[in-house]
Structures are given as C-alpha cells and as structure tokens.
Amino acid sequence: MTGRFDGKVAIVTGAASGIGRATAARLASEGARVVLIDLSAEALEAAMPRGDHLALPCDVSDEASVAAAVETIRNRMGRIDVVCNNAGILCSHAPITDVDMTQWQRVIGVNLVGPSLFLKYAGRAMIEQGEGGAFVNTASVAGIRSGAGGNIYSASKAGVINLTQTAACDLGQHRIRVNAVCPGLIETGMTRPVFDYARGAGKEGKLGSRCELRRYGRPEEIAAAIAFLASDDASFITGQALPVDGGNTASLNLPGMKV
C-alpha cells in the first residue's frame, strides 16, 4: 500500500465488524496506528490487525465514555489525526405512527450523538495539536432519499450528513476536514437479516438489483472511500457526503423500473 497514514493515529468506531473492521484493516495497511472502538472487548480483540494498535471498548452514545476514551487515546498513542465515525445500529421499519420512542432514542444516540461526541472531544484534541486532521462519518443513502431504511434510521443518517456539513464549517479554520460516506446496500453483520431473508426466499439474485451496477457492495469498497477522504489525497475536500452505492442515488430508482 501507499503508506498514506505513516505516523498517524486513526480512531475507528464500530470497528469490531463490517465496514468498521474493513476500515481499520485498510488504514493499518497504509501505515496508521489504529484505535479500534466498539462495545465488546472480545469482538475487538478478534478484529485487531497486526501491529501497534489499540482496542478500546466504548459506548459511543455516552459522553463520559467518549471523553474518557479520547483521553486514553491521547495518553497511550500520543496524538489523534483521523477519526472514522462508523458505529451504527439499525431499527424496525415501523411506520411513523408506530415508532417506539425508546428505540428512537437508542438509534439517535448511537448513529448521531456518537459522531457528535467524537467531533467534540477528538476535535478539541486536533485543535490543540495544531496540525489539522480529518473526520469521516458513515452516513447512508437512507439519509439522502426514502426507501433505504426505516424512519428512525433514515432520520439519524440525514442528521449525520447535516452534522458533517456544519462541523466542517466549524473546524475548517483549524485545517480539520469533515466528510461523510453514504453507503448503499453492503453485506455486513448489521444488514445480515436482509441477506439471510433474500437467500432463504430464493431472491439472492435481486440483492443490489436496483443499483446501476446491478450488485451490492463489500465493506472493503466503503473502506477504500473512507481511506481516500481521510488521506491527504482529499486535502481540499470538506463538508461533503459521498454516496458509495453502485449508482443507487443516481437515478429515479422506483421499484420495477430496472430489469
């Protein structure tokens, strides 16, 4: 690999599986010392790449937990250069009239409050370092258009896109860039029920069929986009939400329109 992250420390939340795990592996392969963050210490250990990295259990929705994690990272790793806010959870597709408010608060807490807390505390650390930095938030095509997720999930990811834009305005003067990726249908542990249902119903061939590339994506493809946005190759890009969705958001894309 290119060594784009030699000498840099990168935090990846939701790093125990899926896109987060692929991102941690990608950044490590390009020279970063990676801090893998997730709820389960056991799952984090299984996801650890080889090298000088750190596994750190943390509830991203809890402010005290995030503040303590950032302080630990600064003490153990010496600096923070990149933060990939990837931790996220799904929810039911219940109509808005049947939304469970406990579920609403949990999804918003992980998907939206989590990134805002790392922007707050890791952003402060980057400002104190005075050397710039980069955040990449994982949003979703569900935050761009309806039909890709339930009410709560979609609202949380739309919030991530807006948070990305406003935080980019706040932090740009400190040479800290903030961008987002918006994955389409990707096979991960979080989306496994969708894939299991399709395969069980003999509809595996339809997975990703509404994308212009006529397929679903892999976590490694999202990790590649995240690595680009986090790197100096994207040094003049901030406040943007990049769909990585096989062309899903490029067309009207109504059911039955593609064959």
The encoded tokens of residue 172 equal 């740009």
64 sits in which H/E element = helix 63-77
Q: Which two tokens stand for residue 128?
A: 């104190």
Catalytic choice (121, 153, 197, 216): 153
Hunting for tokens 């805002």 — which residue is that?
A: 116
To the query of whether residue 153 is one of the catalytic residues in this protein, the response is yes
- Residue (of 93, 92, 89) closest to 107 by Cα position: 89
DSSP 200-227: HTT-GGGTTTTSTTSS-B-HHHHHHHHH
H or E segment at 121? helix 114-129
**Which positions are annotated as active-site residues?**
153
